[in-house]
Structure 1
Amino acid sequence: MDLQDLLIDDTASIEQNTTENTITIKAGDSSKRLSDVLKDFPDNCYVDKKITGCGGSTLVLRNAVNYVLLVPYLNLLHSKEKDNKDIVDLISIYGEKKGDKFIKDYLANGSSPKKIICTYDSLNRLLELDEFDPKQFKLLVDEAHTLVNLGSFKASTCEYVLQNYSLFGAYVFLTATPTKRDYFPNMIGHLPLCTIKWDNVKEVKFNLQRIDKGIGLNKALFGLCYDYLMGKTEGNCHVFYNSVNEISDVILKLKEIKNKQGEPVFNPNDIRIICAEDNQTKLHKKLGKGWGDIAKITSPAVKVNFMTASAFEGADIYDEEGQTYVVINGVRDSTKLDFHVVLPQVVGRLRDSKRNEYINILVGNLPEAANFTLQQWIAHVNKKLSESKDLLNDLNTSKLSETTKKKLRKVALEDKYTFADKAGNLYISDVALKSELQSYEALQATYVVREVKGAEIDATGYSASFKDLLTDESKHEPFAHVPVGIAKFLNDSSQCFTETMKEYCEARDKENEFLYELVDVKDNDYRKFYDKLGHEKIKALRYRRSSIEREYGQEVSLDDSELMIRALLNYKIDDVISKAEIKTRIQEVYKELSIEKLAKATHIEEWYDVKATKLDRIYPAFKIVGFK
């Protein structure tokens, strides 16, 4: 293949360095698509395209070459289907529901070029068909970094891809995740590294926020989502969080906020979950239908969008008003993936967002690699690998009881480096060390995105490596807060009375019925205090519960005694009583009720509407004209 024949843009260039085993494509302006620059990728190479959204898969699906596009995740497959609907005659292979007849019919129908999108774990199904000749196709392995990112995909599936890619007439491994040749799997380590260089890229600006111990990521995430759903924050939030369990916990808290009719305040249609479909039963059980429905990556963006790693890699998400949030918790939910490693896949994932170059990262537990130098990290990983191997050796060679073996096997499967093959046999991944080195490398990387027309210009955020952001507190920019006031109260916290009382009073003053009724539904004390004392008196008491309850108690007690005083005085409308007699009678009532207070005739005005007059035209008196 003459590499120069691949170019269709006169301003672009392509160079090969056989000594270094590299190819460099200078593509020009980042606003261009790869299909504006190239007819096809060079054969038999590993391509680092540097930025997401530049149209790598579109190039191979719409050019004149027979292609099998191999993708790791079903959501990515559906995204590519939607992007090319009514444009390309293609078929998709995944699962086993359709059978194989549609594949055979497509291969035999005489159309050209042939385009097949296939998931990693369905490649064997395609290769086993007699009607399919891989030599007649070029293979593109999309999101190729998943082949080395430990735990990002089924190890046995990745091994099958690596063992069979060379059956095709030509092949390309494609990624936007920075990958050093040293970290390539052994079976593709000989391939040239093809790097695509772009002009006019924008450095990604990160806002990183550490969550202190004891506060909790989920509380901060609840506060973030609450602000979007309540309209306090403009736009839509896209939360990339690799834990279905944690995501569902946050949604459950949002669902539990009820109005006075006992119905959820928020609309489940404003919350979207995108994750692997095998989580559907679990989500429905926990959240119910509607709230726990898994959406497709191709569905329209809503106010709050949650996505796990299996959902977003390589997929196109369109939302001009979208803002990106990445949650790095260090907690692994049915995966062994360090989430910061897939950060390059999140960067630029919102294709047309006005804020595509701004990424907010919420960090709970630090990635383990952040605490080491490179040499320390290598030594640490090798030590862990040795321990993993020792455990497997004990399982395979020691004379242990079946009960002990069962316990040890469970421990082994929880180990980061240990996997089970299809037969159930345990083994240590041969890419373990390379994966961990890639994990370390991801901490050092900085990232760029394509320029988006109309994107906002903002001075906030820092262009720095993830490790620099983690270790330099001057670069930490809070953007999410743990719930405060009413939001904290609605999140079932009891340690927020002062904040909630203040916000409740302000809502009552502004007649914000929607907000203050959320509080009334859960606790009527706030209404009771406001109705009796009013905002000014509550404010003077500094919104403190103990002070407010004491004052309220006195007011209620006073109300009760006022009724008793009026009953004992027993004055009627139009009664005229001298002030001297009123003073004497009030003092008698005070004494009877054990009220230590010196009576005055004017105290009558606390219980009755009166009018000053004269009794017998001589003695100062009051006439009863109404009741208080």
Structure 2
Amino acid sequence: MTEIPVNCLFNKKKTGCGATELAIRNSIPTLIAMPYVALVKNKTVCRTDDIEVLGVYEDITEWDITQFARTHSPLKIATTYDSLPRVVSALQSIGIDPYKELFLLVDEWHVLFNSYSFRHRAIRELLATAARFDRATYMTATPIEREYMLEELRHLPTCEIDCPDLTEVKVRSRQTNKPDKYIVSECVKVLRDELPYNLHIFVNSVEFIAKVIDTLKLAPEAVKIVCSTSGDSRQENQRKLGNAYPIGQPSDPAKKINFYTSTCFEGCDIFDPDGVTFIVSDGRKAHTLLDISTLFTQICGRIRDSRYKTQIVHVYSTTKYSKAVTLDEFVAATQRTLADAEKFASDINAVDEPSREKLLKKIPYINEQYVRIADNRLIVEKNLANMDIVNFKISRHIYATYVNLTDELQRNGYKVTVQTYSKVVEHLAANPTARTTFRELFDEYCRLKTMTEQFFVVESPAELCAVIEQRHPLVKQAYDKLGTAKVQALKYHVGNIRRELVKGLSIGDDYKIVKMINDAFQKQTPIAKNKAKERLQEIYDTLGLQRKAKATDLAQ
């Protein structure tokens, strides 16, 4: 393959396959539009070869663009989505017609959809500009499902690479109520050299990163942080992190602990042979929940040379949204709202233009979902309706339960390995004095005991069992000496279990009786004579002794 297919939606299927590099290295004059500054820099100023590609973002001027264009052939320019129109304008100012002379490659086009709700003006402008190119292709390894695709792209055919040797990726799903605390615990292990790898943590929240580094009191030199620096983001993100923690680039050398926000989720090249990918989805923060078919898959391919790249750890908490509305019900409701919006727009647009112009000027704002004003007409935004459906699907369906999330991962080709998450143990760790029944502890202990030690990151079943053993030593004794079936037959009754354990000891009957009495009677507490005889008789019966309990027996 020597060039990218033209005028299509190009599904390269595999991240890191070299398709963007192909567009950079071939002899075709090419303009590449990318979603983030970090990605543009990754393919331009951070290159380690002698290929010259101009990166265009907010600090690059029209003079920089024109000077580069005059002195380089074939022309290769990588620009952010937002800067595409001004690159076109700059080239036109020196007599270059980019629409006819350059090939436009819109890289990571799934971001156009994922970002549409909060960058819709910039994205609409990019789409309008791209439509004027004679040769334009939209490329990604993770395309949006066609039913939710942007309206402006639906007419394009799909072209796919045939990749029969796609690598199977195993996902260890680690559910937790407190993702930040779990990440802190893993960081501690790495800092103590208890783990043989480095952590590369992908989480779309600078606040989350700041909380973790503050909890750990990390030295700035021990951590690498890559987040957005475009516009006002640099100042705001630096404020959240603190001035001691510099914002780095994806290509910076790896540290033991590395954090990345969404600016690095697509297209960036990270190198660390000892790097393990952690993806964090916090159910309390909707912007950290990732679409499995797009962003999740993109992140899996970021560390290019890791010996662990077929293993991913997904740390997540489920969402707390009401389950009263199902996904199907929400889709139906959204479609009804969209139909109402289309009728409203049609009725207004049917009015003659002078009257419509006066009417729209008198309306302070359009109180109708999915409708906007453009050139004195109402435009219905089907893209926003699709965004609402996908966001609902992610936050209130996929991440609502472990089962839904596992199904979605498997539907997208991931192999999900058995988790060792323990709600009981996490509850004990969060609140050591919490009230927990013997039955809860024993059943959880039995579940963990049947699990095998797998993978290299999530707490092992043995570690989780040790927490239960420390909290209630009787659990281990009962499991080892009596077994699950016997404990269940005893209906988890602690007193009966203790007596059964004593009964099995290799000591004389009199010693067993004394031990059972110590367990049965509270010290320094008066007890009625008849009650004492009843308890003693129960002990005799448990031991299979043919005796009748008498008050005088207690004196002995």
Query: What is the TM-score normalised by the length of structure 2?
Result: 0.62
1:328 matched residue in structure 2: 281
Find the partner of 1:311 among 264, 285, 289: 264
Find the partner of 2:145 among 180, 194, 199: 180
Distance in 2 separating the partners of 1:235 and 1:357: 14
2:316 matched residue in structure 1: 363
Structure 1 residue runs of 5 or longer lacking an equivalent are: 1-37, 256-265, 444-462, 498-538, 543-628
Evaluate the alpha carbon distance shift between residue 363 and residue 98 of structure 1 in structure 2; reply closer, same or farther with a 3 A threshold.
closer
Letter in 2 for 1:122: S
Distance in 2 separating the partners of 1:273 and 1:128: 35
Distance in 1 separating the partners of 2:373 and 2:266: 25
- Counterparts of 1:583-622 in structure 2 under 5 Å? none
1:268 matched residue in structure 2: 220
**Once the 2 structures are TM-superposed, how far is the Cα of residue 45 of structure 1 from its aligned partner?**
0.8
Show CA shifts across 1:244-281 (max 9, x none).
Answer: 112211111111xxxxxxxxxx4321212111114443
Distance in 2 separating the partners of 1:337 and 1:418: 24
Letter in 1 for 2:83: S
2:89 matched residue in structure 1: 128
Cα contact 1:238–1:324 (8 A) shared by 2? yes
Aligned residue for 2:79, secondary structure, equals: strand
Distance in 1 separating the partners of 2:283 and 2:337: 17
Aligned residue for 2:382, secondary structure, equals: coil
2:243 matched residue in structure 1: 289
2:63 matched residue in structure 1: 101
2:51 matched residue in structure 1: 88
Letter in 1 for 2:188: Y
Distance in 2 separating the partners of 1:480 and 1:246: 23
Distance in 2 separating the partners of 1:238 and 1:286: 20
Evaluate the alpha carbon distance shift between residue 42 and residue 475 of structure 1 in structure 2; reply closer, same or farther with a 3 A threshold.
closer
Evaluate the alpha carbon distance shift between residue 351 and residue 377 of structure 1 in structure 2; reply closer, same or farther with a 3 A threshold.
farther
Find the partner of 2:386 among 431, 434, 448: 434
**Once the 2 structures are TM-superposed, how far is the Cα of residue 230 of structure 1 from its aligned partner?**
2.1
**Once the 2 structures are TM-superposed, how far is the Cα of residue 356 of structure 1 from its aligned partner?**
0.8
Q: Which has the higher strand share?
A: 1
**Once the 2 structures are TM-superposed, how far is the Cα of residue 85 of structure 1 from its aligned partner?**
4.7
Letter in 2 for 1:224: E
CA RMSD, 1 decimal: 4.6
Distance in 1 separating the partners of 2:25 and 2:392: 36
2:120 matched residue in structure 1: 155
Letter in 2 for 1:70: A
Show CA shifts across 1:229-248 (max 9, x none).
Answer: 22222211111111111221
**Once the 2 structures are TM-superposed, how far is the Cα of residue 150 of structure 1 from its aligned partner?**
4.7
Evaluate the alpha carbon distance shift between residue 151 and residue 191 of structure 1 in structure 2; reply closer, same or farther with a 3 A threshold.
closer
Cα contact 1:71–1:117 (8 A) shared by 2? yes
Distance in 1 separating the partners of 2:317 and 2:3: 42
Evaluate the alpha carbon distance shift between residue 79 and residue 65 of structure 1 in structure 2; reply closer, same or farther with a 3 A threshold.
same
Letter in 1 for 2:276: Q
**Once the 2 structures are TM-superposed, how far is the Cα of residue 180 of structure 1 from its aligned partner?**
3.5
Letter in 1 for 2:228: A
Letter in 2 for 1:46: L
**Once the 2 structures are TM-superposed, how far is the Cα of residue 332 of structure 1 from its aligned partner?**
4.3
- Counterparts of 1:43-442 in structure 2 under 5 Å? 43-82=6-45, 84-95=47-58, 97-109=59-71, 111-129=72-90, 130-131=93-94, 132-134=96-98, 135-150=100-115, 154-211=119-176, 215-255=177-217, 266-277=218-229, 278-291=232-245, 293-332=246-285, 338-340=290-292, 341-366=294-319, 375-382=328-335, 429-435=381-387
**Once the 2 structures are TM-superposed, how far is the Cα of residue 107 of structure 1 from its aligned partner?**
2.0
Letter in 2 for 1:193: T
Cα contact 1:221–1:480 (8 A) shared by 2? no
Aligned residue for 1:57, secondary structure, equals: helix
Q: How many residues align?
A: 408
Evaluate the alpha carbon distance shift between residue 77 and residue 218 of structure 1 in structure 2; reply closer, same or farther with a 3 A threshold.
same
Identity of aligned residues (%): 28
Distance in 2 separating the partners of 1:101 and 1:338: 39
Evaluate the alpha carbon distance shift between residue 223 and residue 380 of structure 1 in structure 2; reply closer, same or farther with a 3 A threshold.
farther
Letter in 2 for 1:71: M
**Once the 2 structures are TM-superposed, how far is the Cα of residue 48 of structure 1 from its aligned partner?**
0.7
Show CA shifts across 1:391-447 (max 9, x none).
Answer: x9xxx99x99x9xx9xx99xx9xxxx8799999xx998531343456668989xxxx
Show CA shifts across 1:70-103 (max 9, x none).
Answer: 10001101111156454323211110x3421121
Evaluate the alpha carbon distance shift between residue 429 and residue 483 of structure 1 in structure 2; reply closer, same or farther with a 3 A threshold.
farther
Structure 2 residue runs of 5 or longer lacking an equivalent are: 346-358, 396-404, 435-469, 474-556
Cα contact 1:144–1:173 (8 A) shared by 2? yes
Letter in 2 for 1:133: D
**Once the 2 structures are TM-superposed, how far is the Cα of residue 366 of structure 1 from its aligned partner?**
4.0
Distance in 1 separating the partners of 2:285 and 2:371: 15
Distance in 2 separating the partners of 1:289 and 1:480: 38
Aligned residue for 2:331, secondary structure, equals: helix
Evaluate the alpha carbon distance shift between residue 464 and residue 202 of structure 1 in structure 2; reply closer, same or farther with a 3 A threshold.
farther
1:549 matched residue in structure 2: none
**Once the 2 structures are TM-superposed, how far is the Cα of residue 469 of structure 1 from its aligned partner?**
9.1
Distance in 2 separating the partners of 1:422 and 1:244: 36
Aligned residue for 2:162, secondary structure, equals: strand
Distance in 1 separating the partners of 2:424 and 2:116: 31
Distance in 2 separating the partners of 1:421 and 1:306: 41
Show CA shifts across 1:443-469 (max 9, x none).
Answer: 9xxxxxxxxxxxxxxxxxxx9753559
Aligned residue for 2:16, secondary structure, equals: coil
Show CA shifts across 1:299-340 (max 9, x none).
Answer: 11111111111223110111111111111124447x597554
2:511 matched residue in structure 1: none
Evaluate the alpha carbon distance shift between residue 70 and residue 287 of structure 1 in structure 2; reply closer, same or farther with a 3 A threshold.
closer
Distance in 1 separating the partners of 2:288 and 2:339: 18
Aligned residue for 2:138, secondary structure, equals: strand
Cα contact 1:369–1:439 (8 A) shared by 2? no
Query: What is the TM-score normalised by the length of structure 1?
Result: 0.56
Show CA shifts across 1:356-400 (max 9, x none).
Answer: 11111112134979998764452254467689999x9xxx99x99
Distance in 2 separating the partners of 1:434 and 1:357: 32
Whose radius of gyration is greater, 1 or 2?
Answer: 1
Distance in 1 separating the partners of 2:233 and 2:80: 19
Cα contact 1:223–1:480 (8 A) shared by 2? no
Distance in 2 separating the partners of 1:85 and 1:371: 54
Evaluate the alpha carbon distance shift between residue 420 and residue 246 of structure 1 in structure 2; reply closer, same or farther with a 3 A threshold.
farther
Distance in 2 separating the partners of 1:219 and 1:88: 44
Evaluate the alpha carbon distance shift between residue 428 and residue 319 of structure 1 in structure 2; reply closer, same or farther with a 3 A threshold.
farther
1:625 matched residue in structure 2: none
Evaluate the alpha carbon distance shift between residue 482 and residue 324 of structure 1 in structure 2; reply closer, same or farther with a 3 A threshold.
farther
Aligned residue for 2:187, secondary structure, equals: helix
Cα contact 1:247–1:306 (8 A) shared by 2? yes
Distance in 2 separating the partners of 1:142 and 1:307: 20
Aligned residue for 1:361, secondary structure, equals: strand
Cα contact 1:82–1:298 (8 A) shared by 2? no
**Once the 2 structures are TM-superposed, how far is the Cα of residue 181 of structure 1 from its aligned partner?**
3.3
Evaluate the alpha carbon distance shift between residue 199 and residue 494 of structure 1 in structure 2; reply closer, same or farther with a 3 A threshold.
closer
Evaluate the alpha carbon distance shift between residue 365 and residue 380 of structure 1 in structure 2; reply closer, same or farther with a 3 A threshold.
farther
Show CA shifts across 1:151-193 (max 9, x none).
Answer: 5861111111111112223111000114333333222211110
Aligned residue for 2:68, secondary structure, equals: helix
Distance in 1 separating the partners of 2:41 and 2:113: 24
Distance in 2 separating the partners of 1:136 and 1:168: 9
